[in-house]
């Protein structure tokens, strides 16, 4: 018996006009794991979720639940429940009837339904709300009812489609913590969808970054944030700057890269790299340090300064026309738009990305990433669930 | 401010006058008439009497009432069975096809319903289209006598009133949030269970208002019974019409009409009670 709870194998799906929404995705999710599908709208994350739920059929590929192929099973025959984006609470039933819906279908005796509904209301911190109608609840309360309604069936996997999207920021933060607490307590596998990178990093054991129907990278929040494999992951998750250059020489695990504005050291990452190769280098804006009146480091021209959320952001134009952003806390920076400026970044904060990958190759390699490399080991560095 | 206000009153006033003169007035007149005495031959004497209502209890008229209700009920059952699925599937069509379906549904309304009913005579008569087709298919040997029978009248009722049911069901199914059905399936409901516990419950107001829109007229559409039923099927509407024209007993016709109106009012009150209760429960 393996530890894999849910597995997707090379799922493909296209809607009209032959446009592929999912271009062969594979993923293995461990039991009790909290995995997040992170991506911009239209990347295929909701379609993935609907395929797992059985609300959509893939063109090819398979879905395995506890080792059993469920690809052809109807949604009601799968041990999977979904928390829908708009909650989808039944307006003609009160809260208790909504939560007890799944049990009523299973013909569970009434007193037991009542008891378990009470337990669920207790669990989502809405005791005494059973008699209310969904229309009498606030957004956050509806959210909790939707979660309770899905959890009462004791699903193997709970799917959550941007469940906090409609809530305001404060409530969203509180619900993030609560959801995580709930998941830990129940030990149920969560597949969570969001486009919010902070939410993904806060809650997940692993994150699968999706883009144009493929997984760009699957890994722990730490891996995704600090060791992005692709420029998309680096920019989407870490708001990184991407610099273009050529490898001059290798120095152990680092490469000296010749950029348009000077030379810099960067981590090579896992894939081998040769001298003379064209590379892309990702550096997050908070790691770019401006050198006040220095003569060392890289050079650019200040375009503009702006201040937001306690951070000063300085955008710098490089000689190859690219723009990068340096940010830091505080508002003091002796630079003015139009001035030449020197900057540098530490080698460990720079990483080579998009190692010569075309989209097709990315699809192939990410399919490999999501697959268990060996028995008991699933995914790329997927130890976060332990 | 004052001037604008009085201006608004003047704008609405014609509407009030129109309503009083053409709606409330005739109604009051009809109720009053139902308590008046019919003069021998022609005309009305304004002498109070309950004789008109007493006359309705005459077995002949009572039976007409019962038969009218039966016909209305039969027609409504068929209309429900055909109209509900029609309206439901129409609401599930893609946007462009919805408009086309709506157009086809409204098309017959552009032709007078009397003319359309005469079309049914051509279809239903002994040597008509239906019998010919059935004979050609070898289902029957001798032509069936459909025209001028009870089934023909039901066919006519269903034909004329079906669009109202379809539109009524369609308008409530159109407002359905279909993700609720997905949620039901996701929670373990089969297709049928999801339909019955969610879709049907949420489209029930549409079905109920469709029943009101078809049941009430089907008691009164005497011309359908006249055209397709020959003189065999007599409805309350037929009696009213007869008493108004040939019989010249206006007070009795008025009494029959008042009873019909009472039945209608009770039904509408019942419908409103159900839907209002549901609205309070948050169905909207």
Which CATH number covers residue B215?
Answer: 1.10.3720.10
Stated as kind and residue range, the H or E segment containing B71 is helix B59-91
Å from A84 to nearest chain B CA?
Answer: 8
Mean pLDDT of A44-63: 94
Residues of A in contact with B179 (CB under 8 A): 84, 86, 88
* A216-232 pLDDT, tens digit each: 999 999 999 988 889 89
Residues of A in contact with B187 (CB under 8 A): 76, 81, 101-102, 105, 149-150, 153
pLDDT score of B194: 95
Strand-strand pairing, A262-267 and A340-344 = unpaired
Mean pLDDT of A308-332: 82
Residues of B in contact with A84 (CB under 8 A): 179, 182-183
Of A76, A86, A88, the CB nearest to B188: A76
Three-class secondary structure of residue B218 per DSSP: helix
Of B188, B189, B202, the CB nearest to A92: B202
| Residue A210 CB partners (closer than 8 Å, separation 6+) | A25, A37, A38, A39, A43, A44, A45, A48, A216
Å from A76 to nearest chain B CA?
Answer: 4
| Residue B160 CB partners (closer than 8 Å, separation 6+) | B113, B116, B117, B221, B224
**Chain B residue nearest residue A131, CA to CA:** B281
pLDDT score of A238: 78
Task: State the Cα–Cα distance between residues B207 and B169, nearest whole angstrom.
Answer: 5
How does residue A81 score in pLDDT terms, banded at 50, 70 and 90?
very high
pLDDT score of B5: 60
Is the pLDDT higher at B114 or at A209?
A: A209
Å from A72 to nearest chain B CA?
Answer: 15
Q: What are phi and psi of B167, to 5 degrees?
A: -65, -40
pLDDT score of B255: 93
Mean pLDDT lowest among A17-21, A124-128, A329-333, B11-15 = A329-333
Å from A135 to nearest chain B CA?
Answer: 6
CB atoms B281 and A105 under 8 Å: no
Neighbours of B92 (CB within 10 A): 12
CATH topology of domain A4-226: Rossmann fold (3.40.50)
> Which residues of chain B have a Cβ shorter than 8 Å from any chain A Cβ?
177, 179-180, 182-190, 193, 197-198, 201-202, 278, 281-284
A383: number of CA atoms within 13 Å, CB side? 3
Residues of A in contact with B186 (CB under 8 A): 53-55, 75-76, 80-82, 150
In the block, which residue shows the tokens 């089907």? B218
pLDDT score of B216: 83
CB atoms B185 and A74 under 8 Å: yes
Angle at A373 between CA A368 and CA A377, to 5 degrees: 130
State the angle between helix axes of B59-91 and B236-245 in degrees (0 to 180), rounded to the nearest 10. 120
Note the maximum CA span of chain B.
Answer: 80
Three-class secondary structure of residue B222 per DSSP: helix
pLDDT score of B44: 86
Domain definitions of chain A by residue range: 4-226, 231-353
How does residue B258 score in pLDDT terms, banded at 50, 70 and 90?
very high
Residue B93 lies in a domain: yes
Strand-strand pairing, A189-194 and A80-83 = unpaired
Q: Is the dihedral of CA A51, A56, A62, A63 positive or negative?
A: positive
Å from A79 to nearest chain B CA?
Answer: 9
Pair of tokens at residue B207: 């079905």
pLDDT score of A278: 83
Residues of B in contact with A117 (CB under 8 A): none
Mean of all residue pLDDT scores within chain A: 85
pLDDT score of A285: 87
- For an interface test with A, give the residue of B177, B179, B187 to mutate (most A CBs within 10 A): B187
Instruction: Please state the separation of Cα B174 from the chain's center in Å.
Output: 22
Of B190, B197, B282, the CB nearest to A134: B282
Residue B201 lies in a domain: yes
Task: State the Cα–Cα distance between residues A346 and A267, nearest whole angstrom.
Answer: 10
Q: Please report, for residues A43, B55, B56, the alpha-carbon distance to residue B249 in angstroms, rounded to integers and kept in the order given.
A: 76, 12, 13
pLDDT score of B169: 95
pLDDT score of B284: 38
Residues of A in contact with B182 (CB under 8 A): 55, 75, 84, 88
pLDDT score of A180: 93
Mean of all residue pLDDT scores within chain B: 87
pLDDT score of A293: 67
Mean pLDDT of B117-137: 87
- Return the percentage of chain A with pLDDT > 90, whole number: 50
- Decide if A116 touches B, using CB distance below 8 A: no
Range of the structural domain that residue B251 is part of: 59-283
Task: State the Cα–Cα distance between residues A219 and A224, nearest whole angstrom.
Answer: 6
- For an interface test with B, give the residue of A57, A88, A129 to mutate (most B CBs within 10 A): A88
The single-letter DSSP state of residue B37 is E
* A83-112 pLDDT, tens digit each: 999 999 999 999 999 999 999 999 999 999
Residue A222 near residue A210 (C-beta atoms within 8 A): no
How does residue A360 score in pLDDT terms, banded at 50, 70 and 90?
very low
Task: State the Cα–Cα distance between residues A362 and A365, nearest whole angstrom.
Answer: 5
Kindly write down the DSSP assignment for every residue of B236-255, as one continuous string.
Answer: HHHHHHHHHHTS--HHHHHH
Å from B234 to nearest chain A CA?
Answer: 43
Neighbours of B76 (CB within 10 A): 24
How does residue A150 score in pLDDT terms, banded at 50, 70 and 90?
very high
Taking Cα atoms as reference points, which of B60, B54, B74, B76 lies closest to residue B259?
A: B54
Residues of A in contact with B184 (CB under 8 A): 90, 101
Classify the phi-psi angles of A310: left when phi > 0, otherwise alpha if psi is within -120 to 50, otherwise beta.
left
CB atoms B198 and A82 under 8 Å: no
Three-class secondary structure of residue B44 per DSSP: strand
Å from A133 to nearest chain B CA?
Answer: 7
- Decide if A41 touches B, using CB distance below 8 A: no
**Chain A residue nearest residue B182, CA to CA:** A55
pLDDT score of A273: 81
Of A76, A89, A134, the CB nearest to B185: A76
How does residue A331 score in pLDDT terms, banded at 50, 70 and 90?
low
Å from B104 to nearest chain A CA?
Answer: 27
In the block, which residue shows the tokens 């669930």? A385
**Chain A residue nearest residue B282, CA to CA:** A135
Does residue B261 have a pLDDT over 60?
Answer: yes
pLDDT score of A332: 65
pLDDT score of A333: 67
Residue A299 near residue A334 (C-beta atoms within 8 A): no
Q: Please report, for residues B34, B133, B235, the alpha-carbon distance to residue B256 in angstroms, rounded to integers and kept in the order given.
A: 8, 42, 11
Mean pLDDT of B75-97: 94
Question: How many structural domains comprise chain B?
Answer: 1
Mean pLDDT lowest among A45-49, A282-286, B29-33, B162-166 = A282-286
Where do the H-state alpha helices sit in B92-221?
95-106, 113-124, 129-136, 150-174, 179-186, 191-194, 200-220
- Decide if A91 touches B, using CB distance below 8 A: yes
Does residue A377 have a pLDDT over 60?
Answer: no
End-to-end Cα, chain B, rounded Å: 36
* B3-60 pLDDT, tens digit each: 556 677 788 888 889 999 999 999 999 999 999 998 877 788 888 999 999 998 899 8
CB atoms B187 and A149 under 8 Å: yes
**Chain B residue nearest residue A92, CA to CA:** B283
Residues of A in contact with B195 (CB under 8 A): none
The single-letter DSSP state of residue B204 is H
3-state secondary structure chain A: CCCEEEEEEEEEEECHHHCEEEEEEEEEEECCCEEEEECCCCCCHHHHHHHHHCCCCCCEEEEEECCEECCCCCHHHCCEEEECCCCCCCCCCCHHHHHCHHHHHCCCCHHHHHHHHHHHHHHCCCCCCCCCCHHHCCHHHHHHHHHHHHHCCCCCEEEEECCCCCCCHHHHHHHHHHHHHHHHHHCCEEEEEECCHHHHHHHCCEEEEEECCEEEEEECHHHHHHCCCCHHHHHHHHCEEEEEEEEEEEECCEEEEEECCEEEEEECCCCCCCCCCEEEEEEEHHHCEEECCCCCCEEEEEEEEEEECCEEEEEEECCCCCEEEEEEECCCCCCCCCCEEEEECCHHHEEEECCCCCHHHHHHHHHHHHCEEECCEECCCCCCCC
Does residue B91 have a pLDDT over 60?
Answer: yes
Question: In the CATH scheme, what is the homologous superfamily, with its name and number, of domain A231-353?
Answer: Nucleic acid-binding proteins (2.40.50.140)
Q: Is the dihedral of CA A316, A318, A324, A328 positive or negative?
A: negative
Pair of tokens at residue B114: 């009397």
CB atoms A88 and B177 under 8 Å: yes
- For an interface test with B, give the residue of A99, A101, A141, A161 to mutate (most B CBs within 10 A): A101
CB atoms A76 and B186 under 8 Å: yes
Angle at A364 between CA A363 and CA A367, to 5 degrees: 85
- Decide if A129 touches B, using CB distance below 8 A: no
């Amino acid at each position: 018996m393996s530890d894999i709870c849910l597995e997707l194998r090379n799922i493909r799906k296209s809607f009209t006009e032959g446009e592929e929404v999912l271009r062969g995705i594979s993923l293995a999710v461990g039991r009790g794991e909290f995995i997040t599908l992170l991506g911009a709208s239209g990347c295929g994350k909701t379609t993935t979720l609907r395929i797992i739920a059985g609300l959509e059929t893939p063109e090819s590929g398979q879905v395995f639940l506890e080792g059993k192929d469920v690809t052809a099973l109807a949604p009601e025959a799968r041990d999977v429940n979904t928390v829908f984006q708009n909650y989808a609470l039944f307006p003609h039933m009160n809260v208790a009837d909504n939560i007890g819906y799944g049990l009523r279908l299973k013909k569970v005796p009434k007193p037991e339904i009542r008891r378990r509904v009470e337990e669920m209301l207790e669990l989502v911190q809405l005791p005494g709300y059973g008699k209310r109608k969904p229309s009498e609840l606030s957004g956050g309360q509806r959210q909790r009812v939707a979660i309770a309604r899905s959890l009462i069936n004791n699903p193997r996997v709970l799917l959550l489609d941007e469940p906090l999207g409609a809530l305001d920021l404060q409530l969203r933060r509180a619900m993030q913590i609560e959801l995580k607490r709930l998941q830990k307590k129940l030990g149920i596998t969560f597949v969570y969808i969001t486009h919010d990178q902070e939410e993904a990093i806060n809650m997940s054991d692993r994150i699968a970054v999706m883009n144009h129907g493929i997984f760009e990278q699957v890994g722990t929040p730490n891996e995704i944030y600090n060791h992005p494999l692709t420029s998309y992951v680096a920019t989407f998750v870490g708001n990184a700057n991407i610099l273009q250059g050529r490898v001059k020489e290798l120095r152990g695990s680092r490469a000296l890269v010749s950029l348009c504005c000077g030379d810099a050291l960067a981590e090579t990452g896992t894939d081998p790299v040769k001298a003379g190769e064209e590379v892309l280098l990702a550096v997050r804006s908070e790691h770019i340090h401006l050198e006040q009146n220095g003569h060392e480091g890289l050079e650019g021209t200040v375009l503009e300064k702006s201040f937001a959320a306690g951070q000063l952001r300085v955008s710098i134009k490089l000689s190859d026309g690219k723009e990068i952003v340096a940010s830091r806390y505080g508002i003091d920076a002796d630079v003015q738009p139009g001035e030449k400026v020197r900057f540098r970044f530490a080698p460990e904060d720079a990483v080579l990305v998009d190692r010569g990958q075309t989209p097709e190759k990315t699809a192939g390699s990410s399919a490999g990433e999501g697959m268990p490399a060996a028995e008991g080991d699933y995914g790329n560095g997927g130890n976060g669930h332990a | 401010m004052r001037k604008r206000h009085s201006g608004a009153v003047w704008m609405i006033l014609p509407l009030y006058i129109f309503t009083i003169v053409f709606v409330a007035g005739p109604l009051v007149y009809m109720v009053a008439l139902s308590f008046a005495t019919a003069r021998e031959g022609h005309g009305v004497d304004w002498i109070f009497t309950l004789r008109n209502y007493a006359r309705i209890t005459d077995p002949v008229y009572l039976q007409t009432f019962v038969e009218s209700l039966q016909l209305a009920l039969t027609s409504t059952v068929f209309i429900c069975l055909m109209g509900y699925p029609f309206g439901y599937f129409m609401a599930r069509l893609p946007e462009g096809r919805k408009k086309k379906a709506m157009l086809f549904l409204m098309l017959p309304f552009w032709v007078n319903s009397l003319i359309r009913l005469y079309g049914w005579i051509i279809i239903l008569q002994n040597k008509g289209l239906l019998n010919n087709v059935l004979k050609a298919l070898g289902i029957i040997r001798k032509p069936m006598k459909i025209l001028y029978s009870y089934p023909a009248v039901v066919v006519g009722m269903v034909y004329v009133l079906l669009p109202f049911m379809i539109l009524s069901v369609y308008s409530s199914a159109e407002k359905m949030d279909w993700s609720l059905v997905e949620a039901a399936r996701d929670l373990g409901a089969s297709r049928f269970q999801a339909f019955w516990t969610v879709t049907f419950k949420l489209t029930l107001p549409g079905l109920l208002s469709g029943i009101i829109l078809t049941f009430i007229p089907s008691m009164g559409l005497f011309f359908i019974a006249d055209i397709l039923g020959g003189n065999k099927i007599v409805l309350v509407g037929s009696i009213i019409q007869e008493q108004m024209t040939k019989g010249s007993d206006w007070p009795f016709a008025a009494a029959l009409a008042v009873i019909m109106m009472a039945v209608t009012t009770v039904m509408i009150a019942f419908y409103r009670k159900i839907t209002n209760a549901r609205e309070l429960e948050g169905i909207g």
